Amino acid sequence: MTNENGAVRASSDVSIITLGCRLNTYESEVMRGYADKAGLEDAVIINTCAVTGEAVRQALQTIRRVRRERPDAKIIVTGCAAQIEPERFAEIGAVDHVIGNGEKMQAATFQALASGSAGRMRVNDIMSVKETASHMIGGFGTRTRAYVQVQNGCDHRCTFCIIPYGRGPSRSVAAGEIVGEIRKLVENGYREVVLTGVDITSYGRDLPGQPTLGNLVRRILKLVPELARLRLSSIDQVEVDDEFWRALAEEERLMPHLHLSMQSGDDMVLKRMKRRHLRADAISFCDKARKVRSDVVFGADLIAGFPTETVAMFENTLDLVSACGLTYLHVFPFSPREGTPAAKMPQVTRRAVKERAQRLREEGDVALRAFLDAQTGREAEILLEKSQFGRTQHFAETNVDVAGTAGGMLRARITGNDGRRLRAEVVS
């Protein structure tokens, strides 16, 4: 099995390489369970991403590398890239099977792969999928952090994004099933759970009674009191509901770290992206969140060099970092995806795209350093991921002076940082 970095972790003699998002990480664990139960042998499953052209190139490179390293293994390609361009992957001689995003979450698929009855390509129309079922999994290899899928797909059509065509329409998992899965994970030793999906702020619109994300959060925290930490993956700031705000204000176990899908700080660019917010909405959200939860910190996705973006438009995005008080930046140099409206718009030169992305990253480094500096002298709860490494409530990477066990929680005083990670001394 792997994480977002693509490192391999084997399950018996089946390895899974996970590329891309946290939802893929969760789905890889589901596939591992299905592969084990089906008795699949000598296989490598590559769970691809398609968010950028670079992500697809990485998937292709991974296939070639795996074939060199495992010449006799069965190579199975799935994920968003496989769903969107199945024929492209099926034409690669190194690939034995191409599996769609819907099919990879079905036990029958792995039974067919194990028995040898699966065809070369098993990819159906993802737009026809109407439900996302809950999949009970026992863990993620460690006892630190678990991801739980609450929603899949997206009903929006941002002009730069190909993912709706890989994931299908928005569909939610029933709250009772989510609570049951989280209970199981907590019983297995997990202290922190991350709610993940493609567009989790759309949660519940397709369910009876139309519960909201905020309602789900409060229900989880009420019904699973043993859960120490609850986090949210990326959210759309204009879609949060009143229950979310109450949860942020009242629930200490909801972590004060929100990752926002901002993309740009310029109104014209946002309109050309077909985003549902403007610059003022992003700033207003962050201001309100700080009033509700004074210690909240923000991450954000930002795209550099979107088509038609002028220098002045880019400067508005650069300025958004300080205007919103962002801490963790995920910077994406714009990469045109064939089949999206943005790919047909007048493009910014690749040199300018790279230069703007670098300026954004540098601004992000300054913002992160300022946040880390402000933590010196404070105490924090550190959830260990390794013996002397973990993360604070704000998701800050932290090195501690006393060894512990992964999954354990330590109280520590922050003594400094190296620009990327905090240093801390354990106090209890």
Same-domain check for residues 365 and 399: no
H/E stretch holding 358 reads helix 350-374
Q: For residue 188, what is the domain's CATH number?
A: 3.30.750.210
Degrees to nearest 5, angle at CA 413 with 410 and 414 = 115
Q: For residue 367, what is the domain's CATH number?
A: 3.30.750.200
Instruction: Look up residue 298 and give its two tokens.
Output: 């923000």
Would strands 171-172 and 151-152 be described as parallel, antiparallel, or unpaired? Answer: antiparallel
Would the pLDDT of 210 be above 90?
yes
pLDDT at site 255: 97
Q: Which of 331, 351, 374 is a domain's end point?
A: 374
Q: Is residue 73 part of a domain?
A: yes
User: Which residues form the domain of 393?
Assistant: 379-426
Q: Which of 124, 153, 174 is a domain's end point?
A: 124
Same-domain check for residues 169 and 65: no
Q: Is residue 2 part of a domain?
A: no
CA distances from 326 to 60, 269, 370 (A): 34, 19, 11
Q: Give the separation between CA 291 and CA 268, rounded to whole angstroms.
A: 29
pLDDT at site 418: 95
Would the pLDDT of 354 be above 80?
yes
Percent of the chain with pLDDT over 70: 93
pLDDT at site 9: 43
Tell me which residue has tokens 């893929």: 24
Q: Indicate yes or no: pTM above 0.85.
A: yes
Q: Give the separation between CA 335 and CA 309, rounded to whole angstroms.
A: 13
Q: Give the separation between CA 192 and CA 392, rounded to whole angstroms.
A: 11
Would the pLDDT of 350 be above 60?
yes
Q: Is residue 264 part of a domain?
A: no
pLDDT at site 126: 76
pLDDT at site 119: 85
How confident is the model over 3-19, as pLDDT tens digits?
Answer: 444 544 444 588 999 99
Same-domain check for residues 50 and 144: no
Confirm if 47 and 17 have CB atoms less than 8 A apart.
Answer: yes
- Domain count of the chain? 4
H/E stretch holding 198 reads none
pLDDT at site 137: 59
| Alpha-carbon dihedral angle through residues 341, 344, 349, 354, given to the nearest 10 degrees | 30
pLDDT at site 7: 43
Could you give the 3-state DSSP secondary structure of residue 64? helix
Would the pLDDT of 377 be above 50?
yes
Same-domain check for residues 140 and 170: yes
Mean pLDDT of 364-377: 97
Residue scoring higher pLDDT (144 or 208): 208
Q: Which of 64, 98, 124 is a domain's end point?
A: 124
Q: Give the separation between CA 83 and CA 68, rounded to whole angstroms.
A: 24
Q: For residue 82, what is the domain's CATH number?
A: 3.40.50.12160
**Mean pLDDT value across the chain:** 91
Band the pLDDT of 361: cuts 50, 70, 90.
very high
How confident is the model over 21-68, as pLDDT tens digits?
Answer: 888 888 898 899 899 999 999 999 999 998 888 889 999 999 999 999
pLDDT at site 10: 43
In eight-state DSSP terms, residue 238 is: T
pLDDT at site 118: 86
Q: Which of 379, 337, 301, 365 is nearest to 55 (CA)?
A: 337
How confident is the model over 221-265, as pLDDT tens digits?
Answer: 999 999 999 999 999 988 999 999 999 999 999 999 999 999 999
pLDDT at site 2: 38
Same-domain check for residues 232 and 117: no
CA distances from 358 to 88, 336, 348, 378 (A): 32, 18, 15, 31
